[in-house]
Each structure stands twice: as C-alpha cells, then as structure tokens.
Structure 1
Amino acid sequence: MELERMSGWAEETEDTEKDPPPKTCWEKFHTTISNWMLPPDHRTTYMERANCLPPPIFIISISIIELGVFIYYAVWMPQKQWITLDTGITKSPFIYRPDKREEAWRFLSYMLVHAGVQHIIGNLFLQLFLGIPLEMVHKGHRVGLVYIAGVIGGSLASSIFDPHLALVGASGGVYALIGGYFMNVIVNFKDMVPLFGIFRIISIVLIVGTDVGFALYRRYISKVAGPQVSFVAHFAGGLAGMTIGYTVFSCFDKNLIKDPRFWICIAAYVAFLVFAVFFNIFLSPVS
C-alpha cells in the first residue's frame, strides 16, 4: 500500500511538473485581441470558439472601396493637386451637399469620398486598427451596424447643426467604432489591469484629440484649397457609438435582439432620424 501511494504521488508530481504546450501564433494573436476587446469574464468563451471564419470582411471591404474612390478622384478627375482634393469631389454624386440633400443616398455615400491624403490615411488607419479586432470578436454584421449608424447619424446631425456645409469622409463610422470601444473600456475598467486600462483610455483620447484638432484647424485656421467641410459627424458618430455601439459590443455572448438596452438605443436613434428628416424637409435654412 505504501509503495502504491508513493507511486501515485510520484505520478501526480510528474504531471504537475509538465509544462503546458506552447501557444501557437494564432492562439497568441487571439489572446491579444481578447485582452484588448473583451472584459475578463468573456475572454475564455472567446478563446474556446476563436477562429478567423468569417474573416473581417466588412471593415476590409469598406476600406478598399474608400481607397478606390479616393484614387479615382485623385488620379482621373480634374484636380489642382491630389494632396487636397477640390474640383473633383465637389461635383461628385457621393459627397453630401446641402443643396443636393433631396438625393437621399448622399447621407450615406459621403463616407466614400475624402478631402485629401491626410484625411483618407487617418480614417483608414483608425478603422482598420480598431475595426479588424472588433470584427474578429463581434463579427461583421454587428460592426457594420455600428459603423453605418455612425455614418448616417453623422450626416443627419451635420445637416441640422452645420446645415450650410458639405460633408465628406468616413469619420462618422470611425468615431462610432471608437465610441463603442471607449464605453466598454470605461464600464469594464475595474476588471482590467489598471495601467492597461489607463493606457487604452489615453490612447483613445490622444487619437481622437489629434484628429478633431486637425479637423478644427482645417476648418477655422488653415487656408488650404478645397471646399469647407463639416466636422459635426465626428461628434455625432461618437455619440452613436457610445449608445448603440456600446450596447452591441457589450453583448458578446448574448442574443442582441433580446437585450432591452439595444431596443432603447434603437428607439432613440430612430426618433432622431425622424426629427432630422422632418428638419431637412420643413425647417432647414438651406434653400
């Protein structure tokens, strides 16, 4: 009996001394994503079903389309310079223009057109840097919902609060992703390593501050060529992300349509859409 106990103890000791198998590159990649995108209580669930199927099709596809449209207007349409686009995009059927607001598709299609190299690079960097890991965790239909909500909310808000200016760029959608992610960081801050949470918040503040600062500089200080464009979509997109985006991204392992918070946010968003449409039809100062 004593020999059996010693043998069993030796086997247990030997088992405990075995090192766990090393993580593959994909496992390390998914672990990093889960640490950045999810609170601790959801990371195990994500790792159990983590895969790259489907890949982040939405955010990559929309980025390729936006880049293609920029190249088209920069190269083939008449421009004085391609660093800051002017003549081509002002006549584009995609740009949102107050005098063309009866063409309803412009409230969405303006996201495809950008005002210059800095504009397109900034938006593409932000939406790929944040959108790819978000889509790997939450999948394309959820990321797409938040992105499009920010784009449409941005153009409608601009038509109300900055009604005389045109609008270009995907900033509304980008800021919706940032707003949703930011709210999740704030709400789950107590479950994170403090320095890690602080680093994420500081990173978001620096990125947003730099981008908004550049937009304000271009609008009020710089005398660069090209049309004046509104920056209201930045704030409206961020607000859409902090409401709809936060709700969508916090339902990682839940059925979204069964979450009452989602329907409350959707109802508020629809109410805003109805008011914005009414304003543009009956109250807009633009003739």
Structure 2
Amino acid sequence: MDGMDLEEQERLPVQRDERDGDGDGDGGGAKLGCCEKFQRSISKWMLPEQSRNKYLERANCCPPPIFIILISIGELAVFIYYAVWKPQKQWVTLDEGIWNSPLTYKPAEREEAWRFISYMFVHAGVEHILGNLVMQLVLGIPLELVHKGFEVGMVYLAGVLAGSLASSIFDPMNALVGASGGVYALMGGYFMNAVVNFREMIPLMGIFRIVVIVGIVGTDVGFALYRRFLTDEGGMKVSFVAHIGGGVAGMTIGYVFFSSYNHKLLKDPRFWMCIVGYLVFVVFAVLFNIFLSPAP
C-alpha cells in the first residue's frame, strides 16, 4: 500500500475548522462539536492512523449512508409483509409463506436467476432478521460514512451472490434465505482490515473489535449448523454455506475496497487479483449449475 500513488483529493465545499487539522489533538484547546467528535470516533474505528487526517479534512454526512439504510428497510418491509399479510404459525420459525416466495432461493427453481440475489430479502424469523439488521446497521453505517455507498454496496452484494453460488455448489439440495452473505462480507472485510492494520490502530480497540467479530461469527455459525443438522424441523432445510461464501468474499474483495481509502483502487494489483478470482468463481458456479448440479 505504501508504494501506491495517493489520489489528488480536493476538500469538499463544506470545510472543517482549522482545529481539526492535527488529526488527534483539540486544535489549541478549542472545544469540538458533536459532529467532530463523532467523525473522530468513526475514523479511529475504521481507519489506520495514517489515513485519519485525510478523512477528517473532508468528513461529512453527505451523502448519508443511504445504501445500508435502504437495503435494511427493504428487508424489514419484506419480513413484515410475510409476517402480517401472509401470516406464519410463529414469527420465530420457518413456514410455508417464505418457502413459496418468489424471492427465496430454491434449488429446483434456480433457473430463475434473480433468486441468487433476492433471497437476501426473505428471513426465517424474528431472531434471524434482527440479528442481520443489527449487524449490518452497526457495521455498515460507519463503513459507508468512510467508504461511501458504492464500495459498501459492491462488497455487500458480492457477499450475497457469493453466498448463494457457494451454497449451490457445496450444499446444492437446500434452500437459502436471509442476508447473512452480505452481512458476513462486511464483517470479513472489516475483520481483515482490523488484523492487517492492528499496529496502526489503538491496541485495545483492535483487540476488542477482533474478539467481538470472532465471537459473533462463532455464535452465528454454530446456531446455523445446529439448525441445519441437529433440529427436527420438517420440510426444507436452510443452507449455512452462504455465511462462509459471504465471509470469503469480504476477506478478499471487501478487504481491498476497505483498505484502499485515499488510494487509487484501479492501480492496486490486489484489486485486480480479487476481481479476476471472483469472476472465475462466478463463471465456474454458473457452469456447475447448468451442467453438473445434482439438484432437480
């Protein structure tokens, strides 16, 4: 990263006060406002030390984190639709409503290609959607404030698609619902940055964020494995492979997007390696589903 050219960035029309120029100090004792304090906290959580000053120079909330908010509203709206207008026996369990949804990924209907993306809007129950919404808002909003909607959106959707394609290859007989692929992509990208830039971030923050992510991932994957293999629920089983596929997408594509703040992404060889690798995987998965899949 150190050898790459920095982009020539002009300050945005809304200039920050000169007290913010030193990055970490209070500018000669001038009291910071709530917005400045919030932006400083975001920079410490999301960026290594050498990138914080540049972020603080042009930090603002315009555009707002619109992608992650809109996608969360969409997922919540679809959940409410199936819970209220197509009532379930229980909100916390699976039932026929979501299985018959045109959004759910089902192996027998995988020729309807939109299902490889649209499954992210359909959730299995209250605990499922709450877990995904909380994680993607808590992590996605700060990421989008720093990296903006295009980068976060690309990583999120790459995780969703990688999750369904990986499931179609490694767990081809099972259905898929939920936004876990996108959520895990955000966590994977953030986790890799926290590990790689550990020395450049506040040590206790680095340890805390790594422990939290590992704890959340371990708990969630453990629950998914339990629900997949050990429960006696009838009907279709839900694949857990999307979690892994989304996480891998995040630790590759997500890591490159989130580690290239203030650098020319197209000049980063890691970017092209990840993009080419991702495209090769997508092409292989498409061919597998057309010619080799054992699914009906």
Same fold (TM over 0.5): yes
Residues 139-195 of structure 1, C-alpha deviations (whole Å, 9 max, x = no match): 000000000000000000000000000000000000000000000011001222322
- Equivalent residue in structure 2 for 1:283, among 255, 270, 292: 292
Question: In structure 1, what is the equivalent of residue 190 of structure 2?
Answer: 181
The 8 Å contact of residues 84 and 116 in structure 1, kept in 2 or not, is answered as yes
1:243 equivalenced with 2:230 (yes/no)? no
Q: How does 1:244-263 map onto structure 2 within 5 Å?
A: 244-263=253-272
Tell me which of 238, 246, 266 is aligned to 1:229.
Answer: 238
User: Equivalent residue for 2:282?
Assistant: 273
- Structure 1 position 133 matched with structure 2 position 142: yes
Could you tell me how far apart the structure 1 residues matched to 2:286 and 2:121 are? 22
> Across the two proteins, how many residue pairs are aligned to each other?
270
Paired position in structure 2 for 1:161: 170
**Contact 1:98–1:163 (CA<8 Å) still a contact in 2?**
yes
Matches within 5 A, 1:99-114: 99-114=108-123
* 3-state SS, counterpart of residue 244 of structure 2: helix
The alpha carbon displacement at 1:19 in A equals 4.8
Letter of the 2:155 counterpart:
V
Distance 1:226 1:238 in 2: 27
Q: CA deviation at 1:226?
A: 6.1
Which residue of 22, 27, 37 maps to 2:31?
22
> Unaligned regions of 5+ residues in structure 1, if any?
1-17
Structure 2 contact 47–201 (Cα < 8 Å) conserved: no
Q: 1:135, CA displacement in angstroms?
A: 0.2
Correspondences of 1:26-175 after superposition (within 5 Å): 26-175=35-184
Report the CA distance between 1:263 and its aligned residue.
1.2
Aligned CA-pair RMSD: 1.3
1:189/1:197 contact within 8 Å kept: yes
TM-score, normalisation: structure 1 = 0.92
Aligned counterpart for 2:203 among listed residues 185, 189, 194: 194
Instruction: Give the fraction of aligned pairs with identical amino acids, expressed as a percent.
Output: 68
Hey, what's the Cα distance between the residues in 1 that align with 2:87 and 2:205?
Answer: 48
**What TM-score results when the alignment is normalised by the length of structure 2?**
0.89
The Cα of 1:20 is off from its aligned counterpart by: 1.6
TM-superposed deviation, 1:79 = 2.0
CA distance in 2, matches of 1:60, 1:226: 33
- Partner Cα distance (2:275, 2:82) in 1: 35
